[in-house]
A and B are shown apart, each in its own frame.
Chain A
Amino acid sequence: MSDSVETAAAAASTPAVPTGQSGTVVRSTVIRRLFRNPLGLVAMTILLAISLLAILAPVLAPFDQNYANIAKTLAAPDSVNILGTDSAGRDVWSRLLFGAQLTLLSALLCAGVAIAIGLPAGLIAGYYAGKFEAVSNWVVSILMSLPGLIVLLTIRAAFGPSVWMSMIAFGILISPSYFRLTRTAVQSVRNELYVDAARVSGLSDLSIIARHIFSVVRAPIIIQTAAIAGVAIAIQSGLEFLGLGDPTKATWGVMLSEGFKNVYLTPTLLFWPALAMALTIGGLVLLGNAIRDALEDGEKIKHRKQAATSVKGPLAGPTPARLPARPSRKSVAAVDLGTEHHLVKVTNLGVGYPQADGSIKKVVDDVSFHVDRGEFLGIVGESGSGKSQTAFSILGLLPENARVVGGSIQFDGNYTVAPGEERVSQERLSKLRGKRISYIPQEPMSNLDPAFTIGYQLVTPMVRVLGISKAEARQRALKLLADVGIVSPDRTFNAYPHEVSGGMAQRVLIAGAISCEPDLVIADEPTTALDVTVQADVLDLLRELQRRLNIGVILVTHNFGVVADLCDRVAVMQNGRLVEEGPVRDILRNPQEPYTQRLLASMLEGKEPMSMLVSPRPKEPVA
């Protein structure tokens, strides 16, 4: 039973921690969001009601929990016993109320014990690491391998029936979930630069933990507590159901067991405690989910909603999945006459992302350019200029929720996105991708599957796309590795990605991109993640391959030096629009548009050292 908690905690911490949306400032908005979420509101109402009933049990209950009216057993509900009586003639409603009291108190005790142990231990282990962490990890691994109920049976055998004893024991047993949650959260911020900055300022460890680290774990802890309380209630009731609880106390577990014994006579006796349990635990689960949703960044929520994973349907608004899809046409219109000789032609392309309010945010707007065979086109721009989105629409690898909101793309005389189409046709592009259009990514390491050898990742596409045998593909892969300047192709072929350097991995990715002799290669910042000296080698490689294979290349970059090194023509992008396009010498030497001029003026090469680059007095706020 401890299983669900452990993993729920992991799930809870992942989205909350990196965003760190738990500080004092954000808290008010989190609470507001929580109240706006109908499920969160329902959960809080249920839990509040049950808590009130539990607190007021001595006042509200018409009978004592153990008062038995032998003359009136298994009675149906009436005006005195509003929910009837059990087999000993005890009032079900009263017992339910006192049961709530005990249940909630024991859940609180359990969570309290678990937090008191897990939180400080997690903070220390996460912040200082070292021996303490090693030892506590070991203890945790033992605690986590013990099934909760079996441990509680042992405790019961040793200490007799006591709710408090078993809940303290369960609290200890489940404290690893807080420990791991806290440790992971602390580890993720321990090396954050803002903690370093605090250290440089001379803040004591205690202040750093209180100020920068505790705020990160606070929210996951609350979510976790909701889950833990639910599990504690479940396991405590289970113990009581087995008849191992304290016989003098009215509890939901005992009532359930009592009802089960009389299931042939009065099944309703089962219903009430089961309902009470489901409502309480369900309320806790929903509350935890609602807090998590409220904590997630606007960005994140948007993303999730669009993926239609959200359970809070009423709030979600129109999701793109429900947007009316345009009828797909079987036959695709022919491209405009006289343009079919271009390898790629992008015409008035617009790409956008539907927003929660139903509008569409355009990231690429009215962009047109073309690339011919044997031509090197650079697309230059700063972050957010839409250059990568443009490249991915040619590849047909836009994120799921992206929409083509205008224009067309044609490849080798055929539309891949015909005018009026809303999505890139995967049917058309999957025939081209890998075979005629290929891709070189930016980050060498994350773009290779760590579980497969480099050789496997080179051979498979060739087998699939070219239909050649594995042996032949292997020969070609080895030759490709040699072609991209890898000194010992055999060793690299058999290596796993984590065994090679970043520069080497990028060469492997380039080899993969040209392995099926494409006509067009799209390179997205192919040298940005590399050291300058390695970059120069990779640029040489790209130039040499492009000349030799006479392919068209679209190079997406922010670096004018790289453009000057490789490109025949340049397109400059800003805020999703194409600012200027032309032969590389014209654009770099004689830019017409102010934006291009400004970008080029920001280059440091050839500037007087220590001179102001932009303004004599750089105090105007940055837009």
Chain B
Amino acid sequence: MIRFIAKRLGSGLVVLFVVSALTFFLLYISSGSIARNILGDQATAEQVALKEQELGLDQPLLTRYLAWVADALSGNLGASWFTSEPVANSLASRIPVTMTMVFTAMILIAICAALIGVLAAVKRGWVDRVVQVGAIIGDSIPGFVIGVILVTILAIQLGLFPATSTISPEAGADAWVYSMSLPVIALLINGVTGGAQQIRSAVIKQLERDYVRTLRSRGIGEREILFKHVLRSAAPAGLTVLSLQLIGMLGGVVIIEQIFALPGMGPLAVAATGQSDLPVVMGVVMYTVVVVIVVNLLVDILNGWLNPKVRVS
């Protein structure tokens, strides 16, 4: 098992390295205009040259990348070109907000999707039909549009929730929960509809397997068959569904935070993108990839635990 984890961790590091290189070269390939961009049209050629030197843009691309890697390994991701704030600091202050939202939404999705999906698979009938129709509706309306609709109806028209959420540490837990609930709901609607539908198919597929009939013939109760055997076999498929949902949500949350004016990664990423503040963009990409790698590792470990065949090989 330890070798299995080490192997997965190693391949994760390789991915991290490859993505960082790709992103870096992609971002800086058009670096000629960067200094001019920052200083504006009024700047003289000398000022531009000076700025380029200051940012290290006069160095060859490869040298700059290696310098970035060396810095990054020591925890230094550079500083914003516009605010001069160290990227690591801005990430550190914003990641908690985003991650709380994403993981709260993910846990709720996992619970709701599993409950509804299993129920639909076992009971069929109207529950099943509702899940199918819900999946179509959920697929049809993009997550951020759902967010916009929620704000318009629940917050602005009905005034049930705050339309924008500003969170300060002093505000207290209940105020925090209150202002976070709408964005989290916006995040999880798509996840639950899609997830429930896919978990439903995974469970139905398992219920149709031969060994389920044999377990019944041995006098094992329906509940035990469902919870011990069927769910366990359906779990890997469910986990894959959820991990893909989480990857998607890392993008979706950017828009949701923008809609609700939350001080998370979203506004940082959007502002940096609009201004081509490349060190910050680089930092955002790195954070995302690390989260994905960690989540995939957890899913692999869980799968290994659930499936003896994976563990053996």
Query: What is the 8 Å Cβ interface bit string for chain B, positions 188-218, against chain A (1 contact, 0 not)?
Result: 0010001000100100000001110111111
Nearest CB on A from B257, distance (A): 10
Indicate if the CB atoms of A260 and B259 lie closer than 8 Å: yes
Q: In the assembled complex, how far is the CB of residue A309 from the closest CB belonging to chain B, in whole angstroms?
A: 5
Map CB proximity to B onto A278-307 as digits: 1 under 8 Å, 0 otherwise. Answer: 100110011001000000000000000001
What 0/1 readout, one digit per residue, does chain A (211-255) give for beta carbons within 8 Å of chain B? 000000000000000010010011101100111100000000000
A321 to B144, CA, bound (A): 38
- Which among A142, A509, A513 has the greatest number of chain B C-beta atoms within 10 A? A142
Binary interface encoding of chain A residues 129-158 relative to chain B, with 1 for a CB under 8 A from any of its CBs, else 0: 000000000000110111111100111111
Does B62 lie at the interface of the complex (its beta carbon under 8 Å from any beta carbon of A)?
Answer: no
Find out whether the CB atom of B216 lies under 8 angstroms from the CB atom of A433: yes
* Cross-chain contact of B194 among A3, A270, A313 (Cβ < 8 A): A3
Q: Once bound together, how far apart are the Cα atoms of A7 and B113, in whole Å?
A: 15
Q: Is the CB of A7 within 8 A of B198?
A: yes
Tell me the residues in window 283-313 of chain B with beta carbons closer than 8 Å to chain A beta carbons. Answer: 284-285, 288-289, 292-293, 296, 306-309, 312
Contact of A154 among B26, B201, B306 (CB under 8 A): B26
Q: Per-residue CB proximity of A594-614 to B under 8 Å, as 1/0?
A: 000000000000000000000
CB distance from A484 to the nearest CB of B (A): 16
User: Which A residues lie within 8 Å of B220 (CB)?
Assistant: 434, 460-461, 464
Q: Is B15 an interface residue (CB 8 A)?
A: yes
Q: Are A441 and B213 in contact (CB under 8 A)?
A: yes
Q: Which of A153, A256, A437, A512 contacts B148 (CB 8 A)?
A: A256
B266 to chain A, nearest CB (A): 8
B211 contacts A241, CB within 8 Å? no
Q: Could you tell me if B251 and A1 are in contact, using CB atoms closer than 8 angstroms?
A: yes
Question: Does A267 belong to the interface (CB within 8 Å)?
Answer: yes
Residues of chain B lying within 8 A (CB to CB) of residue A387: none
**Residue among A146, A434, A447, A465 with the highest chain B CB neighbour number at 10 A:** A146
CA–CA, A250 and B240, complex, Å = 38
Q: Check A147 against B251 for contact (C-beta < 8 Å).
A: yes
Contacts of B255 in A (CB 8 A): 149, 238, 241-242
Q: Residue on B with the closest CB to A234?
A: B142
Contacts A154-B285, A256-B148 known; A278 to B141 CB distance under 8 Å? yes
Q: Contact check, B276 vs A450: say whether CB atoms are below 8 A apart.
A: no
When C-beta atoms are compared, the residue in chain B nearest to A141 turns out to be B15
Q: Please name the residue on chain A nearest to B208 by beta carbon.
A: A399
Question: What residue in chain B is nearest A242 (Cβ atoms)?
Answer: B270
Q: How large is the interface on A (under 10, 10 to 19, 20 to 34, 35 or more residues)?
A: 35 or more
- Knowing A144-B247, A150-B285, the reply to whether A4 touches B190 (Cβ < 8 A) is yes
**A528-562 to B contact mask, C-beta < 8 Å, 1/0:** 00000000000000000000000000000000000
CA gap between A263 and B163 in the complex, in Å? 11
A143-176 CB mask vs B (1 if < 8 Å, else 0) is: 0111111100111111100000000000000000
Chain B residue at smallest Cβ distance from A264: B156
A278 CA to B138 CA, complexed, in Å: 10
Q: Which of A11, A244, A435 sits near B198, CB closer than 8 Å?
A: A11
Q: Could you tell me the distance between the alpha carbons of A496 and B219 in the complex, rounded to whole angstroms?
A: 21
Does B29 make an interface contact (CB < 8 A)?
yes
CA distance A230 to B139 in the complex (A): 8
Cα A145 to Cα B292 in complex, Å, equals 6
Contact of B211 among A230, A270, A285, A447 (CB under 8 A): A447
Q: What string of 1s and 0s marks CB contacts (under 8 Å) between A455-466 and chain B?
A: 000001100110
- The reply to whether the CB of B154 lies closer than 8 angstroms to some CB of chain A is no
| Contact indicator B308/A496 (Cβ below 8 Å) | yes
Best-buried of B29, B209, B251 by chain A (most CB within 10 Å): B251
Chain B positions within 8 Å of A153 at CB level: 254, 269-270, 273, 281, 284
Q: How far is the CB of B276 from chain A (nearest CB, A)?
A: 5
Nearest opposing residue in chain B for A498, CB measure = B309
Contact residues, B69-115 vs A (CB, 8 A): none
A6 within 8 Å of B by Cβ? yes
B63 CB–A CB distance under 8 Å: no
- B307 partner residues in chain A, CB cutoff 8 A: 450-451
Q: Are the C-beta atoms of B156 and A2 separated by less than 8 Å?
A: no
Instruction: Kindly report which residue of chain B lies nearest to residue A6, judged by CB atoms.
Output: B244
Asked whether A4 lies within 8 Å of B139 as measured between CB atoms, the reply is: yes
Q: Are A430 and B221 interface neighbours, CB within 8 A?
A: yes
CB distance from B182 to the nearest CB of A (A): 14
Given that A238-B255, A263-B152 are known contacts, is A434 also in contact with B218, CB under 8 Å in the complex?
Answer: yes
Between A270, A437, A451, the greatest number of chain B beta carbons within 10 A of the residue's beta carbon is seen for A451
* Nearest Cβ on chain B to A423's Cβ, whole angstroms: 15
- Whole-angstrom distance between the Cβ of B254 and the nearest chain A Cβ: 6
A447 with B210: in contact, given A145-B289, A153-B254, A430-B221 (CB under 8 Å)?
Answer: yes
Which chain A positions have C-beta within 8 A of B244?
Answer: 2-3, 6-7, 144
B35 smallest CB distance to A (angstroms): 16
Binds A, one of B47-55, B126-134, B171-179: B126-134
A441 to B215 alpha-carbon distance, docked (Å)? 11
- Structural contact, A441 and B214, CB atoms closer than 8 A: yes
In the complex, what's the smallest C-beta–C-beta distance from B102 to chain A, in angstroms?
Answer: 11
Within 8 A of B (CB), among A304-327: 307-309, 311, 313, 321
- B149: interface (CB < 8 Å): yes
Q: What chain A residues lie within 8 Å of B249 (beta carbons)?
A: 147
Contact indicator B232/A11 (Cβ below 8 Å): no
Asked if A147 and B288 sit within 8 Å, CB to CB, the answer is yes
Q: Which of B211, B217, B276 has the most CB of A within 10 A?
A: B217
Chain B residue at smallest Cβ distance from A1: B248
Check A1 against B136 for contact (C-beta < 8 Å): no
Does chain A have a CB within 8 A of B23? yes
Query: With the chains together, A2 CA to B29 CA distance in Å?
Result: 27
CB contact between B247 and one of A3, A446, A447, A496 (< 8 Å): that residue? A3
> Is B263 an interface position by the 8 A CB rule?
no
Q: Which of B27, B124, B144, B156 contacts A241 (CB 8 A)?
A: B144
Partner of A308, one of B129, B277, B296: B129
Q: A157 near B276 (CB under 8 angstroms)?
A: yes
CA separation between A214 and B285, bound complex, in Å?
37
Q: Report yes or no: B276 in contact with A308, Cβ–Cβ below 8 A.
A: no
Establish whether residues A321 and B152, one from each chain, have CB atoms under 8 Å apart when the complex forms: no
Name the A residues within 8 Å of B152 (CB-CB).
263, 267, 270
- How far is A465 from B144 in the complex, measured between Cα atoms in Å? 53
Q: Which residue of A lies closest to B131 (CB)?
A: A309
A439 at interface (Cβ–Cβ under 8 A)?
yes
With contacts A149-B254, A434-B217, A465-B219 known, is A309 near B248, CB below 8 A?
no
In the bound complex, residues from chain B placing their C-beta under 8 Å from that of A144 are 244, 247
Among B129, B141, B215, point to the contact of A277 (Cβ < 8 A).
B141
- Which partner residue on chain A sits nearest B144 by CB separation? A238
CA distance A311 to B249 in the complex (A): 28
Q: Cβ of A7 and Cβ of B209 under 8 Å apart?
A: no
Contact between A4 and B211 (Cβ–Cβ < 8 Å)?
Answer: no
Out of A154, A313, A438, name the residue touching B281 (CB < 8 Å). Answer: A154
Bound: A29/B175 CA distance, A? 59
> Is there contact, CB below 8 Å, between A150 and B219?
no
- Bound-state CA distance A512–B281 (Å) is 61
- Chain B CB within 8 A of A443 CB: yes
- Nearest 4 A-B pairs (CB), nearest first? A434-B219, A149-B251, A282-B140, A439-B217
Task: Jot down 11 A-B pairs with beta carbons below 8 A, ordered by A.
Answer: A145-B247, A153-B269, A153-B281, A154-B273, A230-B140, A242-B255, A277-B142, A277-B145, A308-B129, A309-B124, A451-B307
Spell out A's residues near B (CB within 8 Å): 1-4, 6-8, 11, 141-142, 144-150, 153-159, 227, 230, 233-235, 237-238, 241-244, 256, 260, 263-264, 267, 270, 274, 277-278, 281-282, 285-286, 289, 307-309, 311, 313, 321, 395, 397, 430, 433-435, 437-439, 441, 443, 446-452, 460-461, 464-465, 496, 498, 509, 512-513, 516
9 extra interface residue pairs, beta carbon distance < 8 Å, beyond A230-B140, A464-B221:
A8-B139, A141-B15, A149-B250, A281-B141, A308-B125, A321-B124, A430-B221, A449-B211, A512-B214
